[in-house]
Structure 1
Amino acid sequence: MSVKEMTAKEIAQKVIKKEDLFILDVRNQSDFNDWKIEGESIEIFNTPYFDLLDGVEEVMERIPVEKEVVVVCAKEGSSILVADMLSEAGRSVSYLKGGMKAWSEHLEPIKLGDLHDGAEMYQFVRLGKGCLSYMVISNGEAAVIDSTRMTDVYLEFAASKEAKITHVLDTHLHADHISGGRQIAEQTNATYWLPPKDATEVTFAYQALEGGNVVTIGNTAIDIHALYSPGHTIGSTSFVVDEKYLLSGDILFIDSIGRPDLAGLAEDWVGDLRETLYNRYRQLSDELIVLPSHFMIIEELNENGSVGKQLGTLFAENHGLNIKDEKEFRAMVTGNLPPQPNAYQEIRETNMGKMTPDSEKQREMEIGPNRCAVR
């Protein structure tokens, strides 16, 4: 039997559509335990490649005959060798093209809905990293929010919609992934907006993004209203788009809240976090659809693969929004902080412009899950 390749996009579609797939992950156990492909209809089994060098007989009984099977490794090479062995043993299998690196970098664009006067809102779902970014398109112009370093995806998507990117915004200085905002702005001559309290150490020019700023996209006047909302970082800023969507950055997620410690100031910033969640957001309409910059678990995906929920629903269901006692809130937040993101200090310095790692180094820095939320 011949071995086929399966792309990250094909796996993403299976995850979103909840189609059955069996994954044989042949990375080391520690890498597998840290980060893997997940989905409601995904069955996954890990056995290191080096344990299969003498043959695949011991894993044959673990591999179902009735399901589509794909072999996964870090970069592709080992999975091809294992897939070849399984094929020679009579099994129909594929391998993940580009390995987990390709999975980490894949962005799946999903239309969220229409805004007024024919404008549109899109979410880019990075399933392999839990990152969410956005594009607002209005009358031939586009704004990109919280972009990843895979800048070609946004440029090509805007071009396919015959839109020119005129504004690029980051809700805060990211610490778990490398922003593509500055690069997109340079390539398109767009205005790059950053919260100034997060940008005190950046080495490049930017437009100060402060609470009360209004960024207009297209002459049909789709407005992005900036709302200062510190707590994850001191400069964190949310956006209300067309009075319909609340882009919450890393302050509020679907099933959790943002962590305040990525600059080592958890005790100082936890008060800001509570003020944002319990006062600033309470003044907003419950009808706003919350669109965060990350998701934590695959169950947060909606039926179409997007991530988002009404603010009123989150006030009812999200535990982090329902702790009345401030001392209890502080204890919950500071006592449930996950490990720091991989290479987070290097990522912050890259986003400040203080270092310029090559593309391979950037991939290595981002490997692993996002860790932006309080558990």
Structure 2
Amino acid sequence: MTVYAMTSKEVTKKVFNKESLFILDVRNESDFQDWKIEGENFEYLNIPYFELLDGVKEILYNIPTDKDVLVVCAKEGSSVMVAELLSEEGLTVSYLQGGMKAWSEHLELVKVGDLKGGGEVYQFVRIGKGCLSYMIVSKGEAAIIDATRMTDIYLEFADSIGANITHVFDTHLHADHISGGRVIAEKTNATYWLPPKDATEVTFEYQPLEGGNNVIIGDTSINIHALYSPGHTIGSTSFVVDEKFLLSGDILFIDSIGRPDLAGMAEDWVADLRESLYNRYRELSDELMVLPAHFMIIEELNADGSVSERLATLFAKNHGLNIEDENEFRKLVTENLPPQPNAYQEIRETNMGKMNPDVEKQREMEIGPNRCAVRK
């Protein structure tokens, strides 16, 4: 029997299309419980690889024969061996090419809208990590917001559509993933913008992103309005693009709100978080389409795989925007927090330019799920 390699892109399509998939995850139980491939119609069996060294006969009755079966491990090697054992028993199975490391790094490109005067907004969905980054394109120029460290996809896509990257932004100093913003700016001679209150310790040149900044992309009237919205970090900044889109960074998500504790300042930043969400955002048009920097759960994906929602809908349905009592809000965002991201302090220092880990170290630092949101 043949063993097939299934790519992260193929698995992503199954997630987007809500297809069924049976996943045999052969990592240790703790790794599986912490972070796995999620899909609305996926089923799972977690059997650590070392338990299968003597063969797979005992688990054959647990493996379906009427749906696609994918064997998953950390880096690929163990899943190939288990897939081959299952194949020898007559089952048709695939293994995840590159393992969970590849899954963590895959970016899927989705167009999320058009600009009024011509131009497009694209979303890059990092499906395994919950990160969302953006490219705004107009008249041959492009701006990138909250880029991941996998910079080639942005550069190659911009090249494929004939756009020059002229501006690169980070909405805040990220603590869960390593930003690719500075690398892209260096490679393209683009202006790199950072909120100055988040950049007090950075070791490189940047353009301060502050309220009142209007950055023109192309020769149309597409202004990126910087909206100071602290709370997740002290410098967190949102963007209103073309009076149509609200890039909310890690302040507001579709199903939750941003956590204020990743710089150890939860108690101090609660008031800022509430002010941003309950006052500054209330002054905006509720017809704006919210484009966050992360998603938390797979149910937040739209039918096309994108992540977006009208601000009015979030005001109505997002629990974090509907807590009238300030003490209850404070309790939610200071006590109801998931574990902090893996290596978050090292990631922050890398994004400041204080550390320069090699690629393999960067991959290890980022392994794990997105943990930027407050729990409900």
TM range (shorter): over 0.9
Amino acid at match of 1:365: M
Q: Corresponding residue for 2:5?
A: 5
CA-CA distance at 1:70 after TM superposition: 1.1
In 2, distance between residues paired with 1:94 and 1:308? Answer: 32
Q: Can you list the C-alpha shifts for 1:188-233, whole angstroms capped at 9, x where unaligned? A: 1100000000000000000000011011111123211100000000
Judge conservation of contact 1:25–1:32 (CA < 8 Å) in 2: yes
Amino acid at match of 1:4: Y
Q: Corresponding residue for 1:256?
A: 256
Judge conservation of contact 1:240–1:246 (CA < 8 Å) in 2: yes
Amino acid at match of 1:319: H
Q: Corresponding residue for 2:352?
A: 352
Q: Corresponding residue for 1:328?
A: 328
Q: Secondary structure at the match of 1:116?
A: coil
In 2, distance between residues paired with 1:350 and 1:223? Answer: 30
Q: Secondary structure at the match of 1:261?
A: coil
**What TM-score do you get using the length of structure 2 for normalisation?**
0.99
CA-CA distance at 1:117 after TM superposition: 2.5
Q: Corresponding residue for 1:136?
A: 136
In 1, distance between residues paired with 2:115 and 2:165? Answer: 17
Structure-to-structure mapping, 1:299-314, within 5 angstroms:
299-314=299-314
Structure-to-structure mapping, 1:82-97, within 5 angstroms:
82-97=82-97
Moved more, 116-125 or 30-39: 116-125
Q: Can you list the C-alpha shifts for 1:55-83, whole angstroms capped at 9, x where unaligned? A: 00111111110101111100000000001
CA-CA distance at 1:118 after TM superposition: 2.1
Q: Corresponding residue for 2:339?
A: 339
Moved more, 331-340 or 293-302: 331-340
Q: Can you list the C-alpha shifts for 1:142-197, whole angstroms capped at 9, x where unaligned? A: 10000000000100111111111110000000000000000000001100000000
Moved more, 181-190 or 110-119: 110-119
Judge conservation of contact 1:74–1:99 (CA < 8 Å) in 2: yes
Amino acid at match of 1:214: N
Moved more, 184-193 or 111-120: 111-120
In 1, distance between residues paired with 2:20 and 2:131? Answer: 24
% identical aligned pairs: 78
In 1, distance between residues paired with 2:221 and 2:13? Answer: 34
CA-CA distance at 1:331 after TM superposition: 1.5
Runs ≥4 residues deviating over 4 A = none
Q: Secondary structure at the match of 1:305?
A: coil
Structure-to-structure mapping, 1:100-139, within 5 angstroms:
100-139=100-139
Structure 1, unaligned stretches of length 5 or more?
none
CA-CA distance at 1:130 after TM superposition: 0.4
Structure-to-structure mapping, 1:242-321, within 5 angstroms:
242-321=242-321
**What TM-score do you get using the length of structure 1 for normalisation?**
0.99
CA RMSD of aligned residues (A): 0.7
Number of residue pairs the alignment of both structures matches: 375
Structure-to-structure mapping, 1:21-36, within 5 angstroms:
21-36=21-36
Is 1:212 aligned with 2:215? no
Judge conservation of contact 1:343–1:365 (CA < 8 Å) in 2: yes
Moved more, 173-182 or 210-219: 210-219
Judge conservation of contact 1:119–1:222 (CA < 8 Å) in 2: no
Q: Corresponding residue for 1:148?
A: 148
